[in-house]
Amino acid sequence: MNRSDIKNASDLAHRIATIAESKKADNVRIFNINAISDITEYFVISSGGSDTQVKAIADAIESGTRELGIKLFRKEGMQNMLWVVLDYFDVVVHVFQSKVREYYALDRLWADAEIELTSISNITHSE
């Protein structure tokens, strides 16, 4: 895949979800929040079972988008690996440790958004 394959924010969100799943991220979901918020167009939310897995997922997303020439505007949470946020302006990525995701419940907070699930996102991976 190259930069010309990413035509819009939806394409980017789906590419990021695919990268997360390639690192065995759990419960990857794409939320189209464009109709209910001005923050961004899409959230991609995923979970990892440990700080090592959260780092691997976040690093893979950052590397994969860099290879496509996609600019990362802001990155937060890499110090403790509990909740990493990667901001691509039109797509904001949240990579959580599973228990932290449950606690903050962004899935429930954004429940009014259209949820686009990726092809294998309903599969729970074990480490």
Domains annotated for the chain, with CATH where assigned, are 3-115 (3.30.460.10)
In this predicted structure, what is the pLDDT of residue 116?
A: 86
Q: Residue 4: its pLDDT value, please?
A: 66
Beta bridge partners of 29: 45, 117
Residues of the chain with confidence (pLDDT) below 70: 1-4, 118-127
Q: Residue 6 has what pLDDT? A: 85
Note the maximum CA span of the chain: 38
Q: Is 64 helix (H, G, I), strand (E, B) or coil?
A: helix
For residue range 42-78, what is the model confidence (pLDDT) as tens digits? 999 999 999 999 999 999 999 999 999 999 999 999 9
